[in-house]
Amino acid sequence: MTNTAMLAIGINPGFGNTKIVVNNGAGDEKSIVFPSIVAKAQRQVPGALEQIQTIQIKDESFWVGEDALIGSPRSEINKARLKDDYFIPALVRAGLEWLEVPREPSVAVSGLPASWADELDTATRLGELLRIAAAHTFSGSKIRIVSEPLGVLYSQVLDARGARVRPELAKSRVLIVDIGHYTVNAVVVNNLRPEPAMSFSLDLGTSTVLARIGQLLFASYEMDLTLFQIDQAVRNKGLLVSGEFLPLPPKAELVLADAGMKIVAKLTELLRGGGAIEKVLIGGGGAEMESLAQPIVDKYRQAIVVPNPQLSVATGFARLARYSINKGGQ
């Protein structure tokens, strides 16, 4: 197989959702997003029309993503997820299987939150977990691990063929904000060079916002929902219960705007005295929530929410992998 025919894979196993983008070199990108939830597979009901797909890692079987909600699911929201030999591998294996990625050597880029990204042993461990997930796909080549918010930038300065685009953005001093489920990651990049002193992970992600909206839903409708169900309710701007649509309580918008303002306040504090920012790119799933992203856009007039923000980190990773294949590296 020639190098350029190799698949380029971007892997972003977030605390809330796993995002994977596969780039085939002809400008096509396939992607998948699912909750980062894993449960040990249980015995399936004989005769069921649909069986739940099990994901095998070493000697254990798992249900992953929404399928895991049927079992005893767990999500791992701290560094312990990297110690576990099964959790991240199950997420990544599931995504690759669902995307029907062939078991052939590929070039992969994955990432860590900004505050861990320069820890060599943490990055090495993530690489090891990806190899447990799919030895055929990842063993032959180097896996690059970069700081997650950089993916948002790479999704904008590289196209789907891995070619450099938007030179004006590449030449600017850019603040990148990635609003995730648990963390908001931010970096400042000047001329495509990340500034080491300007890299932050803040625990201001959407999960606290969702929990507060959950309390509002409980107060209005006496419904006790999981974070996953509250997330669905926010996306649909309400709940469908026995055929009746129950709208989100109006206060939910205020909760979102308030969380957005908290992010702005923290960023302002961290960037104080750090020099001028020319552009701001906002990505991550949290950027899909308009009322949450709006205070950041209002504060920095040069700010934009990138297209498909939730997928932007994994898209940028896949494009960086494609760029390195084009350059003849692996």
Ligand X SMILES: Nc1ncnc2c1ncn2[C@@H]1O[C@H](COP(=O)(O)OP(=O)(O)OP(=O)(O)O)[C@@H](O)[C@H]1O
Q: Which residues bind ligand X (CB under 6 A)?
A: 14-17, 180-183, 205-206, 210, 231, 234-235, 284-286, 288-289, 310
Identify which of 111, 67, 63 has the alpha carbon closest to the alpha carbon of residue 87: 63
Residue with smaller CB distance to Mg ion, 15 or 325: 15
Q: What are phi and psi of 275, to 5 degrees?
A: 95, 170
CA atoms 218, 221, 223, 227: torsion sign: negative
Residue with smaller CB distance to Mg ion, 114 or 239: 114
Residue with smaller CB distance to Mg ion, 180 or 260: 180
State in angstroms the smallest separation of the CB of 38 from ligand X.
14
- Partner whose footprint covers residue 286, from ligand X, Mg ion, none (CB < 5 to 8 Å by kind): ligand X
For residue 295, the one-letter residue type is P
State in angstroms the smallest separation of the CB of 218 from ligand X.
18
CA–CA separation, 172 and 237 (whole Å): 37
- Give the residues lining the site for Mg ion (CB under 5 A): 14, 180
**Distance, CA of 26 to chain centre:** 24
Per-residue tokens: 230: 């509250």
Residue with smaller CB distance to Mg ion, 39 or 114: 114
**Distance, CA of 7 to chain centre:** 20
- Partner whose footprint covers residue 110, from Mg ion, ligand X, none (CB < 5 to 8 Å by kind): none
- Partner whose footprint covers residue 194, from Mg ion, ligand X, none (CB < 5 to 8 Å by kind): none
State in angstroms the smallest separation of the CB of 216 from Mg ion.
25
Residue with smaller CB distance to ligand X, 86 or 182: 182
**Distance, CA of 48 to chain centre:** 33
| Shortest-Cβ-distance residue relative to Mg ion | 180
CA–CA separation, 102 and 136 (whole Å): 9
